[in-house]
Amino acid sequence: MGKCVEDFVIGEVSESPARTVTETDVVAYSWVSGDSNPMHTDAEYAARSPLGRRIAHGTLGMSIVTGLSSRMGDFDGTAIAALGVDEWRFLAPIFIGDTVRLRTTIQDARPASKPDRGVVTRLMELVNQDDAVVQRGLMKTLAYTRAGLQAQPGNRPDAGS
């Protein structure tokens, strides 16, 4: 089970397991998104560019962030909804073959107007194998408070009786 709003500590830093960005990731994302820019799909074109080789889509990096966040398990069974992404920056390219991990820092965790839920704001940093931050931004998640989670069907002591 993931954390409730009250369980997050402002300033707490966590890291995900790492994953390598593959050519398959880039090709599949290009197909799903419809973004076939030659910087992602054409090795010869990208070789002549200032970067010298193909790069992953910036939004693929954001998608990897959400997947790595999920692997961390902080919101397993406690998240209600994603509320937004703020101040997202693409700081450096992600190359095919880079190995990235997610570093999160809790910025805020507060109750919402309804007592069963609250908002958790995390600084999300996608870090490559050289410890360079390649993407960074804030993500806000609506999550249950302890009282809200207890009130959910299946979580009450009288459930199933």
Task: Write down all domains in the chain, each with its CATH number in brackets.
Answer: 5-150 (3.10.129.10)
Six-digit token string for 34: 């419809």
pLDDT for 111-148, tens place per residue?
999 999 999 999 999 999 999 999 999 999 999 999 88
> 2 falls in which pLDDT band (50, 70, 90)?
very high
Q: pTM for this structure?
A: 0.91
In tens, the pLDDT along 72-99 reads 999 999 999 999 999 999 999 999 999 9
